[in-house]
Amino acid sequence: MGKVKCAIIGSGNIGTDLMIKILRYSDILEMSVMVGIDPTSDGVARAKRMDVATTHEGVDGLIAMEEFKEIAIIFDATSAKAHLYNYDRIKAFPNKQMIDLTPAAVGPYLIPPVNSSAIEDVDNVNMVTCGGQATIPMVAAVSRVAKVHYGEIVASIASKSAGPGTRANIDEFTETTSDAIEKVGGAERGKAIIVLNPAEPPLIMRDTVLTLSEQADKDAIRKSIADMAAEVQKYVPGYRLHQEVQFDDIPEDKPVFIEGLGYRHGLKTMVLLEVEGAGHYLPAYAGNLDIMTSAAKATAEKIALMKYQTA
């Protein structure tokens, strides 16, 4: 079977790391065009050195290229605002699939081990956020054992791994992740917090996941979490539990107040995670970027097999 051609819009950290992953490690995807807006960006320069066609004229430059006709999958690694324009231009062309790595959330949320069926019959899927990719699988793992009233995640990333795009999208990060905790993770109410850690030397991505659910078998929850972590590790080897899962019973006579839900009691579950990057383009501490690009690559490969590859 021939490889499926793809393009990346956004020649920053995320786009460049994704390009390298595709070039080096995908048997299904073929890197066709790297799209930027700065002709001096490192991502565009690297693409040229790796014999990948480039344009520094954004999505309009991509559409004008001869290569565009054969491109099936287009990754957007720009910003939430830019994605609205990019998708508006691309959707006019048939048989083009967009994979959105911004928090724009135009298409349905996609967390590979949780809801891969969301890629069917849509031309745009949203990869949520780095924090969402790391933590929502854990909320979903609890949800498949017990009803989750509330899910809260705190994503701590090295300040050095947060580029201009990430910093410009902080509000969208929290809103999109909170929404996906509910829609994909299965929580009645979700909340997301991001922390940019300025520590030197930079620390790898750390995530805390808290859920309040109905009472359930703790061993069943532990197993569900371990199984889900193993699924994520298939495409992000540096994803792991930092400590054992912790539980706390919230008795009926001492409930906690959850905004929008009122008082709830049940089982509190805490999952502590860390994500170490593969170091393909950026240092290992940038696990927040690695999990996004790895999830996007895994999603694109599944889409390619489902929609585009023929024997």
pLDDT at 1: 65
Tell me whether the omega of the peptide bond preceding residue 251 falls within 30 degrees of 0, making it cis. no
Task: Choose among 130, 93, 115, 99: nearest CA to 22.
Answer: 99
For 177-191, the pLDDT digits (tens) are 999 999 999 999 999
Percent of the chain with pLDDT over 70: 99
> What does the alpha-carbon distance between residue 160 and residue 205 come to, in Å, rounded to a whole number?
11
In contact, 149 and 261? CB cutoff 8 Å: yes
Inter-CA distances, 257 with 164, 233, 254, 271, 297, Å: 36, 35, 10, 21, 40
Q: Where in the chain is the domain with CATH 3.40.50.720?
A: 4-128+290-308
Contact status, residue 14 vs residue 157, Cβ threshold 8 Å: no
> What does the pLDDT average to over 76-87?
95
CATH architecture of 130-283: 2-Layer Sandwich (3.30)
Q: What's the rounded mean pLDDT across residues 59-86?
A: 97
Kindly report, as residue ranges, where domains of CATH 3.30.360.10 are found in the chain: 130-283
Place 310 in a pLDDT band, splitting at 50, 70 and 90: low
Residues labelled as active-site residues = 130
The Cβ of residue 264 has, within 10 Å, a number of other Cβ atoms equal to 18
CB 100, CB 124: distance < 8 Å: yes
82-92: per-residue pLDDT in tens?
A: 999 999 999 99
Q: What pLDDT is recorded for position 311?
A: 42
- CATH number for the domain whose boundaries are 4-128+290-308: 3.40.50.720
State pLDDT tens for residues 204-263.
999 999 999 999 999 999 999 999 999 999 999 999 999 999 999 999 999 999 999 999
**Residue 292 has which token pair?**
């996004």
What is the C-alpha to C-alpha distance for residues 32 and 91, in angstroms, rounded to an integer? 19
The Cβ-side half-sphere exposure at 175, using a 13 Å CA radius, reads 9
